[in-house]
Amino acid sequence: MNHDDLVTWSAKAAEWTRDYHKSLRDRPVRPKIAPGEFLAKIEAPVPEQPDPVDAIFDDFTQLVPDAMTHWQHPRFFAYFPGNAAPASMLAEQLANAMAAQAMLWQTAPAANEMEDLTIRWLRDGLGLPADFTGTIHDSATTATFSAVTTMRELALGHEGVTKGLANAPTLRIYASAQTHSSVDKAVRLSGIGQDNLVKVPTIPGHPTWSMDPNALDQLIRDDIAAGLKPAGVVLCVGGTSIGACDLIGECIAVAHAHGLTVHVDAAWAGSAMICEEFRPLWAGIEAADSIVFNPHKWLGAQFDCAVQFLRDPAPQIGAMGLRPDYLKTQGAEDIVNYNEWTLPLGRRFRALKLWFLLRAEGLTGLRTRIRNHVTWSHEAADAIAALKGFEITTPPILSLFSFRFENDAKTAELLDRVNRDGRIYLTQTNHNGSFVIRVQVGQFDCTRDDVMMIPTVLSELSHDL
């Protein structure tokens, strides 16, 4: 295959892309397929001779889509959305065409400078103060790992990276039980250890299940009295399970009074902050030291794209950055080289899809979608509450709510029926010890009718349960 063939096949791929997206409503959201079934269809010895591209392309169109869960399906209400606006898909194609490696400014100048611009666009779009800078990671997990590693180094006077942790004091990180497992992963892999992640209780009866700032303060004091060393606090805005939001301003005040830095995980909910009316959910955010949100979830910049805002990048560069001889830039040492801000050396040109997306949709277009999703989510929750045997277990926070049907066993059976039916896709979580079903509304092409299909399907599939 050469570059002339690529023109032909790119045109065919573009047509296929359009037809695929237009036919999604006719497909089940999740494939009706058993583990191993797809592999059996493609199993073959490693190709010794070249295959014609049309044979490969045909196999793709005939075998792969039917074996995929369709994240761009308008009735995908599971997990969180993974939106891919057409403008961001186009940008990814162009980034792929250059196939650059953006590890240093000089290896991809436009990519690095566009990263600077799009970070500032998003910072302003989310209403964050002008003294935040930031970078783009592959995932929120990487950003949170970077933030927690930075907390470790701040607590150890930047000696952990050289001396290791063998003779270091026992460090402690604080987060609520509603924070994502990426925080657990970060403390495990940064050497702090799962046992030193202190899960701070939530305020009883709090409407968004906030961590209790007074409990946070007391736990930090107890740890200091016990000879342990507090290193930092991770807060959440829009927790993955039920959308929990910590009282950001109050918790940051406690952390800062103890000299601890704060990382805020707003991986999903951060996108909604382009709408001013949702910003009370993270009131006080301007005092955070680090914030992560995923434009690859609700905002429409296709996977992968996680943005981390930093008040001061220096501590993170101190923790993550390395400059071996072969990466020195000969007289341009003060230019930003984003690989020093994060875990991998190699970096894709991710800013291009943000630049295309924000220009092609405008904040106005993106706000309209997010506002619709929130409105429709409330309507769907009301309709489900009115069905016999159903109970809303957590009301909508932005566009995420949960419900149950009679008891755990029946709720699980209903979820199984729903996902075998295929018209909609929902997933579960545990809330206060109960098996509950989550609903999030956020897919870019969904309409109100798609969303109102949720109560219709639930009513149909529950009546003989």
Ligand X SMILES: *Cc1c(COP(=O)(O)O)cnc(C)c1O
Q: 138 vs 450, which CB is nearer to ligand X? A: 138
At 246, list the tokens. 């910590």
> Are 150 and 316 contacting, i.e. CB atoms less than 8 angstroms apart?
yes
Our measurement of the distance from residue 198's CA atom to the centroid of its chain's CA atoms, rounded to an integer in Å, reads 23
Q: How far is the CB of 397 from ligand X (least distance, A)?
A: 12
440 lines the binding site for ligand X (CB under 6 A): no
Q: Tell whether residue 180 is a contact of ligand X (CB under 6 A).
A: yes
Q: Is 290 in the site for ligand X (CB under 6 A)?
A: no
Which span sits near ligand X by CB under 6 A: 42-50, 128-136, 261-269, 456-464?
Answer: 261-269
CB of 194 to ligand X, least distance (A): 17
Minimum gap (Å) between residue 373 Cβ and ligand X:
15
User: Residue 225: what residue type?
Assistant: A
CA–CA distance, 425 with 290 (Å, rounded to integer):
33
Examine residue 241 and tell whether it contacts ligand X (CB under 6 A).
no
Under rule CB under 6 A, residue 403 binds ligand X: no
Q: Does 141 bind ligand X (CB under 6 A)?
A: yes
Q: Name which of residues 8 to 67 contact ligand X (CB under 6 A).
A: none
**How far is it, in rounded angstroms, from Cα 99 to Cα 11?**
19
State yes or no: residue 265 binds ligand X (CB under 6 A): yes
The correct pick among 61, 133, 139, 372 for binding ligand X (CB under 6 A) is: 139
Cβ of residue 149: shortest distance to ligand X, in angstroms? 15
> Other C-beta atoms within 10 Å of 225: how many?
8
> Can you tell me whether residue 395 is helix, strand or coil?
strand
Kindly list the strands in the beta sheet with 197-200, ordered across the sheet, starting from the edge strand earlier in the chain: 133-137, 306-310, 290-293, 261-265, 229-236, 171-176, 197-200
- H or E element at residue 100: none
Residue 247's Cβ-count burial label (10 Å; 0-12, 13-18, 19+) is buried
Instruction: Tell me if 452 sits within 8 A of 383, measured CB to CB.
Output: yes
Q: Which stretch binds ligand X (CB under 6 A): 23-31, 55-63, 128-136, 265-273?
A: 265-273
Query: In the set 268, 356, 390, 444, which binds ligand X (CB under 6 A)?
Result: 268
We find the least distance from the C-beta atom of residue 269 to ligand X, in angstroms, to be: 8
Q: Count residues near ligand X (CB under 6 A).
A: 15
Residue numbers of the site for ligand X (CB under 6 A)? 80, 139-141, 180, 182, 236, 238-240, 265, 267-268, 294, 306
